[in-house]
Structure 1
Amino acid sequence: MDVGGKIALVTGAASGIGFAYATELLRNGAKHVAILDLASSNGEESAKKLNAEFGNGKAIFIVCDVTKAQELEAAFAKTVKEFGSLDIVINNAGIMDDARWELEIGINFTAVVRGTMLGFQYMGKDKGHKGGVIVNISSVAGLVTGPSFPVYIATKHAVIGLTRSFGLPYHFEKTGVRVISMCPSFTNTQLITECVGRTLDSVEQDHIDKVLSSVPAQTPESVAEGVLHIIRVGENGSIWVVENGEPAYEVQLADQPVKKVSA
């Protein structure tokens, strides 16, 4: 898909990687972008910044708590009402906070499920629309295991499972909507810089510090460039990684479990 002339909705987009996605979309010719975030965010200022750079009316800010079903659906409806249609959905909102694991699951997974289904509703050919693309933001943590943030890691594994399952031909043949996932490695955002005190009580801070110091952080702009690439070329159901500021690459995951052979 060429993003030129397309209309996009991005959750968690007032700052960080989400704002980088919105910026990169408009820089590459997207017609309009709706940025969704909490009322307490700097969303109004972010929309003004985008409109100043790319043209008045290019971006709108919609107050939305993605854990509230009515607010998320209202945000999709408002985007279509304001801009006439919808072509791209990026389910980006997320937190890394195992100390509040129920909220973490609600934001990182339940809201992604709902955002995906709303993407089908507002873009699906079976609903009278023209199709589109949904990008579900996971993490490299969704491809591995680790002791530091086990609930966070589980939510990101779940996003990959959701994407691969909704990305099967059965759904695409009905909807004309591709579902793909991006898995960024450590990125210089508040998700990483403000994770102190957000672990389970059983995880020591020294362990977290060691993990964070062992991996270099990339910029949000590098991740945004990767997302634009996979919107253009990513196959339905595909999973991509962007790390160390390098170009995004697709990863291959097993479709079936492999029986363990004892030594």
Structure 2
Amino acid sequence: MVSTYEIKGKVAVVTGGAKGMGFVAAKTLVGLGAKVIIGDISDKGQHQADLLNAQAGYCAVVFKHCDASEPAMLHALLDSAVSEFGRLDILINNVGILDKPWQYDPSGEYARRCIDVNLRSLIDATNHALHYWNADKNRKGVVINLASLAAHWPMEFMAAYAASKAGIAHYTKCLATLAPKVRVNAVAPGGVNTDFIMAEHLGPNHFSVKTGLIEPQTVVDQIIRLIQDESKAGDVVIIQNNKDPILCDRPNSQIIEAAIKQGTADVNSKNR
């Protein structure tokens, strides 16, 4: 029988939580009895926190202004879970931006910002959370990363975005060995029906045109399943519209070891 992680009474941090999937995730967690720190660069987050607190009837959500590309702000965001609610249990690395679609930027500014916000900040936040959890043998944590179908579907017009999401997917798999103390999983949705994905960003070959947009709650429902199922660690779950979730294969250690041995044999034969 699969052990179920109890969300009620836990404290979560959601980056990019003022709108879209982040807000839906925060709302769903509050509905399940968790308390939530919303971090976002948009001050709209304060209104959203007030809204969720009014619905809950108590202070369940605290908003913190945060530019995820700034490590000090990101660390302060995670620390606020402990200062506001006494603990940190769940981290949802949701924040993300697109690089400039369809246009080549010779300065590399958009690509750098995309990698900084989408990938580097996620690693930074996870490392900071791990430091907190590892400081006490009794602490356990859950991390959910937002990858994308773009990680597995080459898109020339959003190459930096796709590369950042591919990095997230592989980073998630790399941390599978942290379980059971810390479980790290990811969802990789296609285009989601939020302000983040607008029609002008989509080209004729974009996966969302082919598969249709996914509702945010569909993605969040899968996030909740990954949080609750204590057997899940290092999983990356692809979510497409009107299709069952697909689990990306984890690297097979036997295949990797065989490839390394073959590579070593090839090198040795060439050096003879």
Both proteins in one fold, TM over 0.5: yes
1:25 and 2:29 aligned? yes
Aligned to 1:153: 162
Q: Is 1:115 paired with 2:125?
A: yes
Gaps of 5+ in 2: 260-272
Question: What is the match of residue 82 of structure 2?
Answer: 80
Residue 135 (1) aligns with residue 138 (2) = no
Mapping of 1:190-229 within 5 angstroms? 190-193=195-198, 196=201, 208-211=203-206, 212-229=208-225
CA contact 2:176–2:184 (8 Å) conserved in 1: yes
- 1:166 Cα deviation after fit: 1.6
2:75 pairs with 1:69: no
Structure 1 stretches of at least 4 aligned residues deviating more than 6 Å after TM superposition: none
Shift of 1:151: 1.1
Q: Which residue, 152, 157, 182 being the options, matches 2:187?
A: 182
Question: Aligned partners of 2:27 and 2:244: how far apart in 1?
Answer: 18
Amino-acid identity (%): 28
TM-superposed deviation, 1:215: 2.7
Alpha-carbon distance in structure 2 between the residues aligned to 1:248 and 1:11: 23
Equivalent position SS for 1:186: coil
Number of corresponding residues = 242
- The one-character-per-residue Cα deviations of 1:48-86 (angstroms, maximum 9, x if unpaired) are 111011222100001111100100111111111110001
Counterpart of 1:37 in structure 2 is: 40
**Deviations 1:163-217, CA, capped at 9 Å, x for gaps:** 111222xx336xx111111111110112211754xxxxxxxx8xx1453433300
Residues in 2 aligned to 1:241 and 1:41: alpha-carbon distance in whole angstroms = 31
Secondary structure at the residue paired with 1:65?
coil
CA deviations 1:20-56 (Å, max 9, x no partner) are: 11011111221x1000001x34101110111011222
**Amino acid in the other structure paired with 2:148:** S
SS at match of 1:149: helix
Given that 2:211 and 2:240 are in contact with CA atoms closer than 8 Å, whether structure 1 keeps it comes out as: no
- Going from structure 1 to structure 2, the CA distance change for 1:50 and 1:249 (only over 3 Å counts) comes to farther
Query: How far apart, in 1, do the equivalents of 2:93 and 2:200 lie?
Result: 21
State how far apart, in whole Å, the 2-side matches of 1:112 and 1:122 are: 16
Contact 1:166 1:179 in 2 (8 A): yes
How many Å separate the matches in 2 of 1:247 and 1:226?
Answer: 11
Whether contact under 8 Å (1:219, 1:245) holds in the other structure is no
Query: What TM-score comes out, normalization by structure 1 length?
Result: 0.85
1:238 maps to a residue whose letter is D
SS at match of 1:167: helix
Question: Secondary structure at the residue paired with 2:30?
Answer: helix
Aligned AA for 1:229?
Answer: R
Aligned partner of residue 48 in structure 1, secondary structure: helix
